[in-house]
Structure 1
Amino acid sequence: MNAVEVTGVSKVFRVAKGAEVVALDSVSLSVVPGEFVSLIGPSGCGKSTLLRLIADLDQPTAGEVLVFGKSARQARIDQDYGIAFQQAGLLPWRTVTGNIELPLELHGVGKAARRARAQDLLALVGLSDFADRYPDQLSGGMQQRVAIARSLAESPELLLMDEPFGALDEMTRERMQTELVRICAETGAAVVFVTHSIPEAVYLSSRVVVMSPRPGRIQEVVTVGLGSAGTRDDALREDAAFFASVKAVREALHGDAVHEKAPHSVRGVETR
């Protein structure tokens, strides 16, 4: 069973005076369990809209979205996925531990179990020494790590991430990317990740979904053959295969007609 199955999805927004904006047009995409898929495309192409449809934060005008074989709404009710956005969205009056515990508390998990889970997650994101700090005592990168830990609180098999590192400086962003691939390797969660950064998409992903300008369609899917998440580290950023994959995604993004095969990389249009 696929983690995500999007079939023939379109989304039309009604705006002023009865006008319509077609955000997505006949999009179909599958994400298998444990796979990391990035969505990339020009601003306004519908990549965040697609993520919101998967998360049941909005509903498609046409087509179907399934998460682990369930409707998006049922998957949300069952807490089958975690979500992280560009802003960490931490509650300033709660400690780091309190923020991580929040989803568990809302779903009636006992205090001892919540605390034990928070301690495990703090160790996973490397923040055990900051358990009793408040958000304003943390750097931006540390706040995002707390947000990722919170998204993992209920052990979801799917993470939905909308530019979670977009507001960070480049050095912090690269450190967070390395942390994320490590966390994904340890948890085995599938990820759908929205980004504007080609190098970020390539470094993180097993596949990069390139979307067209509005109305958003899947223009091309680039399969990135850079090894499993557990083997990726900073040295990969200097690898010839990494640069070749970045080139392949850039050409797809800009509609280049020349389809070159990069070393250890396959490039092709998704036919679903």
Structure 2
Amino acid sequence: MSTTAPINTPDVNTPAPAVEVVGVSRVFAARKGDGVTALDNVSLTVAPGEFVSLIGPSGCGKSTLLRLIADLDTPTSGSIEVFGKPARQARIDQDYGIAFQQAGLLPWRTVAGNIELPLELHGVGRAARRARAAELIELVSLGDFSGNYPDQLSGGMQQRVAIARSLAESPSLLLMDEPFGALDEMTRERMQSELVRICAETKAAVVFVTHSIPEAVFLSDRVVVMSPRPGRIREVVNVGLGDMSGRGEDLREDEGFFRALSQVRDLLYGDETPSTPQGTRGVETR
């Protein structure tokens, strides 16, 4: 009696990954020679609602990878999808928000006006814009500053406005390139706690570029450790510190936090793989 093997069909109820990077390389042309390889055959999957940090030496391609996901640059080879769409379509559909190291606020617009800007550009009506801005101002704990201008805010407050603006269109993905890099250490830790709270409330997936090992561990579900140029994924560390909603300041004293911290540090400062040039062991940890 013959039997027929079951046909494996995709589960229509399984959500597409927030980010799917497959075999991506990025080579920048040079006037002479073969050019500079910033990324070499990188593959990475980020699940919906997952917080993933990219860390590695300066020049390892982590910001380049973020720009490729955001469709601000194009890979030389490989493919990138955001929620099952090509990166370009995801950008057109406003499926992600993005925040950089500099807040980039318009000095002539108030806190509320800066947050409303993406909505205004996409034709959202005034009443809906104001309601959404008010909601986000409360989310980032700036309720008393909605009418203030950027030069009346501290650096940390400006970054909160930038994060609120990146959330204006309710994206399911946040792309963040060292958003706290220019802040002092105390403000930076407060902003990390704020981001944890915001992510717990919005359930957005996050791809976060940083040079700080403690920051990467405190914030992340997984930390992607990258090698010096050409950028490759050396290893992915599962942090295992629990759900975002349960992460408080006491986590920084947790045994699991220090264990993950040591694991990431060892990967960054440890012996280079054979493909890694010697003499490039230094890494910024500001």
Q: TM-score, normalised by structure 1?
A: 0.93
Higher Cα Rg: structure 1 or 2?
Answer: 2
- 1:217 is matched with which residue? 232
Question: What secondary structure does 2:103 align onto?
Answer: coil
Q: How many angstroms does 1:255 deviate by?
A: 3.1
SS in 2 for 1:241: helix
- Say if 2:255 is the partner of 1:236: no
Residue identity over aligned pairs, in percent, reads: 79
Q: Deviations over 1:179-217 (max 9, x none)?
A: 001000000000000000000000000000000000000
**Paired residue for 2:76, among 61, 65, 68?**
61
What is aligned with 1:93?
A: 108
Q: Secondary structure at the match of 1:15?
A: coil
Task: Return 5+ residue gaps in structure 2 as ranges.
Answer: 1-15, 273-286
Per-residue deviation at 1:19? 4.4
Q: Which residue of structure 2 aligns with residue 186 of structure 1? A: 201
User: For the residues of structure 2 that align with 1:221 and 1:256, how far apart are their CA atoms?
Assistant: 17
Task: State the partner residue of 1:163.
Answer: 178
The structure 1 residue matched to 2:152, chosen from 137, 150, 154, is 137
Question: Cα distance, 1:241 vs. partner?
Answer: 1.2
1:240 is displaced (CA, Å) by 1.4
SS in 1 for 2:270: coil
- Provide the rounded CA distance (Å) in 2 between the counterparts of 1:253 and 1:12: 23
1:116 aligns with 2:150: no
1:239 Cα deviation from its structure 2 partner: 1.2
State the distance in 2 between where 1:92 and 1:19 align.
43
TM-score scaled by structure 2?
A: 0.89
- Give the 4+ runs in structure 1 shifted more than 4 A: none
Q: 1:256 to 1:232 in 2, by over 3 A?
A: farther
Residues 101-112 of structure 1: matches in 2 within 5 Å?
101-112=116-127
Summarize the alignment of residues 18-57 of structure 1 with structure 2, pairs less than 5 Å apart: 18-57=33-72
Alignment-derived partner of residue 252 in structure 1: 267
Which one-letter code corresponds to 1:75 in the other structure?
Answer: A
Deviations 1:158-198 (A, max 9, x none): 00000000000000000000000100000000000000000
Q: Write the distance in 1 (CA, Å) between the matches of 2:138 and 2:247.
A: 20
Flag structure 1 segments of 5+ consecutive residues without an equivalent.
Answer: 258-272
SS of residue paired to 1:17: coil
Structure 2 equivalent of residue 76 of structure 1: 91
Q: Provide the aligned C-alpha RMSD in A.
A: 0.9
